[in-house]
Chain A
Amino acid sequence: RAAPHPAPGEGGEGRAYGWLRASTLRSGNAVHPPFASPATAALASWVPVVGLEIHVQISSNSKLFSGSQVQFAAPPNSLVSFFDASLPGTLPVLNRRCVEAAVMTGLALNCSINKKSLFDRKHYFYADLPAGYQITQQRVPIAVNGSLSYSLCIDNKMSQMVTKTVRIKQIQLEQDSGKSLHDDARSQTLVDLNRAGVGLMEVVTEPDMCCGEEAAAAVRELQLILQTLGSSQAIMAEGQLRVDANVSVHHPGEPYGVRTEVKNINSVRFLAKAVDYEIQRQIEELENGGTILNETRSFDSKLGCTIPMRDKEGKQDYRFMPEPNLPPLILYDAKSLPVNMNHQQVVNIDWIRERLPDLPSVKRAKLVELYGILPEHSFTLLNEDGLAEYFENVIKQTQMKPKKVIGWILNDLLSYLKQHALTVKDSPVSSFLLADLLNLLERREISSSAAKQVLEELWKGEGKTPLKIVKEKKLELIQDQKELEQICQSVIDRQEDEVIMMVLGRNQKVLNKLIGLVQRATRGRSNPVLVKQILEKKLSE
């Protein structure tokens, strides 16, 4: 469960978001309440409060308590062991890899790892829960009290980024449930237990966020961290990362409001939309004198709104009970490790800590330091799977400075990939080819506009080298000084008016026009710097 928003009466301070500010939230669904007068608008400031419960599927070969395989989209009920099907007499046996994944994740999120944690049974009846209970960690979870830092762009520009932090309340290990498919046509429910028993880490945040953008950015950063650690692939579309949002609003200085839980959010983008919609909905409801019910709502992505889920009035009592078949989970560190045990027999927190890979924030800092690129650039590099690696590969193979290379990566390569919905992995232009092209540019064999033309050709993925394309399309820069001077002269001769203006006032605009004309005459094969020099020289004569 997410950390409950403090109950009414407990009060809380928050960032005051004036109503006007809220309406500029980047959800695109800004709705203005029917205010009587501008005066009331100023009074009606609301503080939205957002917390998240994130269920992360652990990347492991087998399930949390049984040896059956973990695999996406396998034939129904083909990955179900006796224990998963809850056959009587079967017992849970803890999967070591899942414990390590949880410890890694806890360390990466700056949590304290509990050296002793416990397992509990959470009871409820549902078709996809064969045992009638889920094994989870309710009393003492494996990790607590951490933090997650993430970055946001202010005002929709990449130029200004701000770092925010959300506190992590806890991480607990628990079983995933199976899947129910409701066949209304035949009034039946089909149950697939392939997913039943897969290991999950539930990451619970404190309610430190205030809008959809923050929630989305936090989740995005968590995804990157998990993927870097390898503890989960965290692909939302495959159900490996599922987010429930807890949302409430209150006036600054007043106690926290009633919160609702929003489920059925299938992407990071929808998360931002769902949260912002719910904030707006609650504000409107309260502005109109209504009340907020402590309920669970489902996000409808088609309509872009949240709707109440099946009535959960009279809250469920899960009758928590310790899981008697699993002894307490004991973890060790270098200090507490018994002398005669090796690390194969136990889980050693320090051993895992020493082997943690560089987290995204560290990688970004390194990129900035190593290559002199801007923080926002490193952010984008890490945000696209494989892009940072691509960038570094290009750097290795070219003499062009990183600060220039980054432009080609972010502006040209990335926009092309986005346009065609391709991943870096599927790029028809390899880092080798791009580096090759950039080298031609760097050696001044072609102009930058010519380079762009070559890149266009390369996208076709016909396997031609940049040099070949340059030769085919005759895009080489004119190296012959005399030839260039001739062309410049002919342009000057044709553009009498401009020449007179130049003589009179040394107009930069006119000069640029002339340069442009030369470029056109040479079909991009002239070096603009050189052309400028020649023109200036000629005009001064």
Chain B
Amino acid sequence: MTEKGNFHRWGQPLGVLDGIPIAVKDNFNTAGIETTCASNMLKGYISPYNATVVQKLLDQGAVLLGKTNLDEFAMGSGSTDGIFGPVRNPWSYSRQYKEKTPPKSSSENEESDWVITGGSSGGSAAAVSSFTCFVALGSDTGGSTRNPAAHCGVVGLKPTYGLISRHGLIPLVNSMDVPGILTRCVDDAAVVLGSLAGHDPKDATTIQDTFKPFELPNLIDVRKLCIGIPKEYHAPGLSSEILALWSKAADLFKDAGAKVIEVSLPHTRYSIVCYHVLCTAEVASNMARFDGLEYGHRADMNKSTESMYAATRREGFNDVVRGRILSGNYFLLKQNYENYFIKAQKVRRLIANDFVKVFGSGVDILLTPTTLSDAVPYMEFIKEDNRTRSAQDDILTQAANMAGLPAISIPTALSKRGLPVGLQFIGHSFQEKQLLTVAKWFEKQVKFPMIQLEEVKRHDCSVFQHQKSVSFL
């Protein structure tokens, strides 16, 4: 804790985050600290350098508490498929959930009722949600920050692609990945964004423009806003609860004087298939470096280099990763490239253009649900395979990654089962200030309840004295 020592000695904070405890998803490189991506391939791998975003936080004086769990190599939407096991949603142990969800049978272990965090940045969301830290870094490729944020009742920000450096973030899909920010409130997210955003010479995909950190105004004139409600986001499988919540939120803006209109993003339904092709292709490419030669796991196989590669990769990767590599290589074959990869790129362009048209017609912010339902119990989640789950769960968040747009999930209310539900705002490219301003206003209106973890309550009842029981629902 030298940083804190410095603070006390000189009376000067290192930066705006001095002394703030943070957690970092384990797919960010941290110097001298094991970086595993929840995979056998990198188990025991001590990274020699800090990711740019990690370095920036440390330079501000933040204190790194630990690396958080995830789906292996960020592939998944439940944070259940990593070598360290699944992540449990802290809300599973909240009074709110336990009250609403009696155990299935008295003989059954209480343990089997716990719900997932969503993914793949489940560990980071859980860390923030359970008060272990104020800020956590996640990554977002198809919704991996927003999805667990919604399930864990925290704020999850996906910045515009190119705003924050990816140097040191172990990539899933280079053309869609962004570092994600998980916090308890929108103001905190704005502060962290201010520390992280800006050009990095080590990342050629970051924009050159200088970024000006901003503070969010407390009051805004909602009447100037035009909120778009994309009809395609009323997706199959969307729970009636969330649909109702979404509608109420739209009314909230309308009542406050904003213009709320229905819009169309017609190519939304193709985004999952498109994502599947582009993602697996990039995965196949990005995972090619894991051959056991320079670092990471190396199989005990000496017959030939090829056999060593094969054994290493079979032992190092789980089924999900291997499945995506095989698919990706298939799509990249010469005879398939035109029909799959090029086609998917074209569809991607169409999806991105949907947003351009809508935003170009006067819409400031889009309002959508983040997830189809609240968090499901683990036992139910694992009944379907990773690919199926990812395809279902990513539908509402995926398109923003295709288009590179900023998006944020705000905890809105508790479901019938006592679990958090979040709603998503999608903004114009590089207009994070407007996005966060609207999000902050909304956050103020809904007054999402604090999680009531039994242990915490026992030790500090006063914290909950002034807790308003009024919920948005």
Smallest CB separation, B117 vs chain A (Å): 24
- Given A88-B289, A123-B288, A125-B288, the answer on whether A93 and B294 have CB atoms closer than 8 Å is no
In the complex, the answer to whether A91 meets B289 with C-beta atoms within 8 Å is: no
Q: Which of B187-224 contact A (CB under 8 A)?
A: 201-205
In the complex, the answer to whether B281 meets A321 with C-beta atoms within 8 Å is: yes
Whole-angstrom CA separation of A133 from B166 in the bound complex: 20
Q: Tell me if A351 is interfacial: C-beta within 8 Å of chain B.
A: no
In the complex, the answer to whether A92 meets B42 with C-beta atoms within 8 Å is: no
In the complex, the answer to whether A89 meets B170 with C-beta atoms within 8 Å is: yes
- Given A82-B48, A86-B294, the answer on whether A91 and B288 have CB atoms closer than 8 Å is no
Smallest CB separation, A266 vs chain B (Å): 25
In the complex, the answer to whether A87 meets B341 with C-beta atoms within 8 Å is: no
Work out how many contacts link A and B, with CB atoms closer than 8 A. 96
**Of B82-90, B96-104, B331-339, B431-439, which binds chain A?**
B331-339
**Of A31-39, A49-57, A214-222, A322-330, which binds chain B?**
A322-330
Question: Which of A85, A87, A187, A319 makes the CB contact (< 8 A) with B329?
Answer: A319
Question: Which of B202, B291, B305, B333 makes the CB contact (< 8 A) with A91?
Answer: B202
Whole-angstrom CA separation of A125 from B289 in the bound complex: 9
- Given A89-B167, A133-B288, the answer on whether A325 and B334 have CB atoms closer than 8 Å is no
In the complex, the answer to whether A121 meets B285 with C-beta atoms within 8 Å is: yes
Whole-angstrom CA separation of A467 from B302 in the bound complex: 73
- Given A89-B29, A93-B201, the answer on whether A127 and B305 have CB atoms closer than 8 Å is yes
In the complex, the answer to whether A86 meets B204 with C-beta atoms within 8 Å is: no
Q: Which of B284-305 contact A (CB under 8 A)?
A: 284-285, 287-291, 293-295, 302, 305
Question: Which of B42, B171, B293 makes the CB contact (< 8 A) with A191?
Answer: B293
- Given A82-B49, A133-B285, A321-B332, the answer on whether A90 and B204 have CB atoms closer than 8 Å is no
Whole-angstrom CA separation of A220 from B29 in the bound complex: 48
**What residues of chain B lie closer than 8 Å to A416, measured between beta carbons?**
none
In the complex, the answer to whether A327 meets B285 with C-beta atoms within 8 Å is: no
Question: Which of A125, A317, A327 makes the CB contact (< 8 A) with B334?
Answer: A317
- Given A88-B170, A321-B285, A324-B282, the answer on whether A94 and B204 have CB atoms closer than 8 Å is yes
**What residues of chain B lie closer than 8 Å to A326, measured between beta carbons?**
204
Smallest CB separation, B391 vs chain A (Å): 22
In the complex, the answer to whether A125 meets B291 with C-beta atoms within 8 Å is: yes
In the complex, the answer to whether B309 meets A125 with C-beta atoms within 8 Å is: yes
Smallest CB separation, A311 vs chain B (Å): 14
Question: Which of A91, A324, A327 makes the CB contact (< 8 A) with B167?
Answer: A91
**What residues of chain B lie closer than 8 Å to A191, measured between beta carbons?**
293
Secondary structure class of chain B's binding surface, majority of residues: loop
**What residues of chain B lie closer than 8 Å to A85, measured between beta carbons?**
294-295
In the complex, the answer to whether A127 meets B293 with C-beta atoms within 8 Å is: yes
Chain B 30-57 per-residue mask, 1 if CB under 8 angstroms from chain A, else 0: 0000010100001000011101000000
Q: Tell me if B175 is interfacial: C-beta within 8 Å of chain A.
A: yes
**What residues of chain B lie closer than 8 Å to A127, measured between beta carbons?**
293, 305
Smallest CB separation, A439 vs chain B (Å): 59
Query: Which A residue's beta carbon lies closest to that of B284?
Result: A319
Query: Which B residue's beta carbon lies closest to that of A131?
Result: B289
Whole-angstrom CA separation of A320 from B329 in the bound complex: 10
Whole-angstrom CA separation of A125 from B203 in the bound complex: 26
In the complex, the answer to whether A131 meets B288 with C-beta atoms within 8 Å is: yes
**What residues of chain B lie closer than 8 Å to A317, measured between beta carbons?**
333-334
Chain A 79-102 per-residue mask, 1 if CB under 8 angstroms from chain B, else 0: 000100111111111100000000
Smallest CB separation, A116 vs chain B (Å): 15
Question: Which of A93, A132, A320 makes the CB contact (< 8 A) with B202?
Answer: A93
Q: Tell me if B19 is interfacial: C-beta within 8 Å of chain A.
A: no
Query: Which A residue's beta carbon lies closest to that of B288?
Result: A132
Smallest CB separation, A479 vs chain B (Å): 76
Whole-angstrom CA separation of A321 from B286 in the bound complex: 11
**What residues of chain B lie closer than 8 Å to A524, measured between beta carbons?**
none
Question: Which of B42, B169, B204, B289 makes the CB contact (< 8 A) with A130?
Answer: B289
Q: Tell me if B123 is interfacial: C-beta within 8 Å of chain A.
A: no
Q: Tell me if A189 is interfacial: C-beta within 8 Å of chain B.
A: yes
Q: Tell me if B251 is interfacial: C-beta within 8 Å of chain A.
A: no
In the complex, the answer to whether B203 meets A91 with C-beta atoms within 8 Å is: yes
Q: Which of A279-332 contact B (CB under 8 A)?
A: 317, 319-321, 324-327
> For B167, B202, B287, B288, which residue has the most chain A Cβ atoms within 10 angstroms?
B288
In the complex, the answer to whether B295 meets A319 with C-beta atoms within 8 Å is: no
In the complex, the answer to whether A327 meets B294 with C-beta atoms within 8 Å is: no
Whole-angstrom CA separation of A86 from B293 in the bound complex: 10
In the complex, the answer to whether A189 meets B291 with C-beta atoms within 8 Å is: no
> For B48, B166, B289, which residue has the most chain A Cβ atoms within 10 angstroms?
B289
- Given A123-B288, A132-B291, the answer on whether A327 and B204 have CB atoms closer than 8 Å is yes
Secondary structure class of chain A's binding surface, majority of residues: loop
Whole-angstrom CA separation of A85 from B289 in the bound complex: 9
**What residues of chain B lie closer than 8 Å to A189, measured between beta carbons?**
305
Query: Which B residue's beta carbon lies closest to that of A319?
Result: B332
Query: Which A residue's beta carbon lies closest to that of B162?
Result: A327
- Given A320-B337, A325-B205, the answer on whether A87 and B167 have CB atoms closer than 8 Å is no
In the complex, the answer to whether A325 meets B204 with C-beta atoms within 8 Å is: yes
Whole-angstrom CA separation of A324 from B203 in the bound complex: 11
**What residues of chain B lie closer than 8 Å to A94, measured between beta carbons?**
204
**What residues of chain B lie closer than 8 Å to A121, measured between beta carbons?**
285
Smallest CB separation, A94 vs chain B (Å): 7
Q: Tell me if B156 is interfacial: C-beta within 8 Å of chain A.
A: no
**What residues of chain B lie closer than 8 Å to A320, measured between beta carbons?**
332, 337
Smallest CB separation, A105 vs chain B (Å): 23
Query: Which A residue's beta carbon lies closest to that of B73?
Result: A88
Q: Which of B174-192 contact A (CB under 8 A)?
A: 174-175
Q: Tell me if B168 is interfacial: C-beta within 8 Å of chain A.
A: yes
Q: Tell me if B319 is interfacial: C-beta within 8 Å of chain A.
A: no
**What residues of chain B lie closer than 8 Å to A123, measured between beta carbons?**
285, 288, 332
Query: Which A residue's beta carbon lies closest to that of B309?
Result: A125
In the complex, the answer to whether A89 meets B204 with C-beta atoms within 8 Å is: no
Whole-angstrom CA separation of A87 from B277 in the bound complex: 25
Whole-angstrom CA separation of A324 from B170 in the bound complex: 14
Smallest CB separation, B327 vs chain A (Å): 12
Smallest CB separation, A468 vs chain B (Å): 62
In the complex, the answer to whether B204 meets A87 with C-beta atoms within 8 Å is: no
Q: Tell me if B315 is interfacial: C-beta within 8 Å of chain A.
A: no
Q: Which of A115-140 contact B (CB under 8 A)?
A: 121, 123, 125, 127, 130-133
Whole-angstrom CA separation of A276 from B144 in the bound complex: 61
**What residues of chain A lie closer than 8 Å to B28, measured between beta carbons?**
89
Whole-angstrom CA separation of A321 from B202 in the bound complex: 22
Query: Which B residue's beta carbon lies closest to that of A65?
Result: B204
> For A82, A87, A127, A317, which residue has the most chain B Cβ atoms within 10 angstroms?
A87
Whole-angstrom CA separation of A91 from B49 in the bound complex: 13
**What residues of chain A lie closer than 8 Å to B204, measured between beta carbons?**
91-94, 325-327
Chain A 173-192 per-residue mask, 1 if CB under 8 angstroms from chain B, else 0: 00000000000000101010
Q: Which of B261-313 contact A (CB under 8 A)?
A: 281-282, 284-285, 287-291, 293-295, 302, 305-306, 309
Chain A 333-358 per-residue mask, 1 if CB under 8 angstroms from chain B, else 0: 00000000000000000000000000
In the complex, the answer to whether A86 meets B305 with C-beta atoms within 8 Å is: no
**What residues of chain B lie closer than 8 Å to A82, measured between beta carbons?**
48-49
In the complex, the answer to whether B51 meets A89 with C-beta atoms within 8 Å is: yes
Whole-angstrom CA separation of A92 from B203 in the bound complex: 7
**What residues of chain B lie closer than 8 Å to A187, measured between beta carbons?**
302
Smallest CB separation, B73 vs chain A (Å): 10
Chain B 338-380 per-residue mask, 1 if CB under 8 angstroms from chain A, else 0: 0001000000000000000000000000000000000000000
Smallest CB separation, A345 vs chain B (Å): 9
Known: A91-B203, A121-B285, A321-B281. 6 other contacts (CB 8 A): A85-B294, A88-B29, A125-B306, A132-B291, A189-B305, A319-B337
Give 6 A-B contacts (CB < 8 Å), ordered by A residue.
Answer: A86-B294, A91-B166, A91-B204, A133-B285, A321-B341, A325-B203
What are the 6 A-B residue pairs with the smallest beta carbon separation, nearest first? A132-B288, A319-B332, A324-B174, A324-B175, A86-B289, A88-B170
Listed in ascending order, the chain A residues whose CB lies under 8 Å from chain B are 82, 85-94, 121, 123, 125, 127, 130-133, 187, 189, 191, 317, 319-321, 324-327
